[in-house]
């Protein structure tokens, strides 16, 4: 199953190489948000480039955001390592690979944990039975 998922992601990398390659100039004032679906951080300037990606293919981006969060936290994520590496080879200039977005720092790790915790509390409140 994992191999099938990886193969699907590799196909999506090839399919959307141009879209990601064009999204190469990070905005220094981009806002950072937590994405519950990927369990990762997203910079606001990464979203407009996805306008050309069909909704069914967004899973690839979520894998990259999740893997990046693991990098930020300094945690291993062997499951998506090959997908991350293939994407870096296919579109190395993508702003999502910028070192300031992937390098483990206490500031980014703390931001991730705070945003995730806030999201988790919101979900628990939402599903809390009266």
Pairing of strands 32-35, 40-43: antiparallel
Q: What is the pLDDT of residues 18-58, one digit of tens each?
A: 888 888 889 999 999 999 999 999 999 999 888 878 888 89
Cα–Cα distance, 17 to 7 (Å, whole number): 15
Residue 130 reports pLDDT greater than 70: no
**109 to each of 25, 26, 40, how far by Cα in Å?**
23, 20, 11
Residue 128 reports pLDDT greater than 80: no
Q: What is the pLDDT of residues 62-108, one digit of tens each?
A: 999 999 999 999 998 899 999 999 999 999 999 999 999 999 999 99
Inter-residue contact 49 to 19 (CB < 8 Å): yes
Per domain, the residue ranges of the chain are: 2-127
Determine if the pTM surpasses 0.95: no
């Amino acid at each position: 199953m994992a191999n099938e998922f990886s193969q699907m992601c590799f196909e999506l990398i090839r399919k959307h190489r141009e879209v990601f390659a064009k999204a190469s100039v990070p905005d220094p004032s981009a806002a950072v948000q937590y994405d519950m679906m990927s369990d990762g951080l997203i910079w606001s300037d990464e979203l407009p480039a996805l306008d050309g990606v069909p909704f069914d293919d967004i899973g690839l981006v979520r894998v990259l955001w999740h893997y990046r969060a693991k990098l930020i936290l300094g945690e291993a994520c062997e499951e998506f390592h090959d997908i991350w590496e293939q994407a870096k080879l296919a579109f190395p200039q993508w702003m999502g690979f910028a070192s300031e977005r992937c390098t483990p720092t206490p500031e980014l790790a703390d931001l991730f944990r705070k945003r995730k915790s806030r999201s988790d509390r919101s979900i628990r409140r939402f599903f809390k039975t009266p």
